[in-house]
Amino acid sequence: MNISVIGCGRWGTFITWYLSNHGHQVVLWGRTGSEKFNSLKQTRKNEYVSINENVLLTDDLSNAVKHAQIIIISISSQSLREFMSTLSNYNIKDKIILLCMKGVECDSGKRLTEVVLDYGVDKNKVAVWVGPGHIQDFVSGYPNCMVIDSYSQELTKMLADSFRTELIRFYYGNDVIGSEIGAAAKNVMGIAAGMLDGGGFSTLKGPLMARGAYEVAKLIKAMGGDPLSAYGLCHLGDYETTLFSEHSHNRKFGECYVKNLPFTKLAEGVSTCKSLKLLGEKFNVDMPITNAVYSILYDKAEPMEVLLGLFSRSTRIEFNL
């Protein structure tokens, strides 16, 4: 397939590496003037991967769009609307839009596929790629399982079957709401886990996982999705890579925050906790972990006081979905 990858960060370059190594024709687009993109053009590598010579690197968006049957977008979630405003100026009517990014729009609380649909894209041509895995592990040959989900089962199967290899086994998703919310929310849980690590209370990550999945399942159900999605690869199945791995940006951000150490890489959970708090209020769902992370990051509450307070809540919780 002819594929254009939008975004030259760690996931954009990994996707380019992965798909170009498995028989697809790939174009990688980066912003004009981007330091990351300029470095890739000069060296064709970054700290994660080396880009094949058969991959075209371009900052010409019209060229990237023209080339593609499938446009894979891997940028900051809060930049998606601005990018779609630009992308919609090109002829994307027959293009498949695949989002390999996790988050919820802060101002509106919209899922990322909803943001894409705001720009007139055919609903049956929009999909998401979510699930566990770190680039450092993939490039070292360690396999994992991920999920493709969309509004069209035909599209879901086509993408999953086309991208499946021994390195990544793709499962068919059947709940776009659950896949998007679950994937976004796990980053908030990752921040909370990192704060527990930083504060010396890593033993509480077990209760955090159990209560976190339940909290997210309730929100998914209230939004019209399948609550069991929270227990699949998009959320609970991604906890090992997000709540425990040294490679997790969100876990590391939480740890550094508690220790008052600098952290300069993107942690999507910072904006996502704001979005999920909004959704919890909109759908009248109690979101204690999300609200705790929000109060720490935005209200500057004392981290360990707030987090340890979660575990003194009433034990008479009915786990009914």
Q: Which sequence positions are flagged as catalytic?
A: 186
- Cα distance between residue 282 and residue 287, in whole Å: 12
- Residue ranges in the chain assigned as alpha helix (H): 10-20, 35-43, 61-67, 80-87, 112-117, 135-139, 153-163, 176-199, 205-222, 239, 249-259, 269-282, 288-298, 303-310
Give the closest residue to 193 by CA, choosing from 276, 292, 96.
292
Q: Classify 288 as helix, strand or coil.
A: helix
Does residue 128 contact residue 179 with C-beta atoms inside 8 Å?
yes
Q: From residue 6, give the alpha-carbon distance in Å to each of 9, 166, 187.
A: 9, 25, 22
Q: From residue 63, give the alpha-carbon distance in Å to each of 3, 6, 16, 69, 178.
A: 12, 12, 16, 12, 34
Instruction: Return all residues near 162 (Cβ < 8 A) that are at least 6 apart.
Output: 1
Q: Classify 127 as helix, strand or coil.
A: strand
DSSP class of 125: G
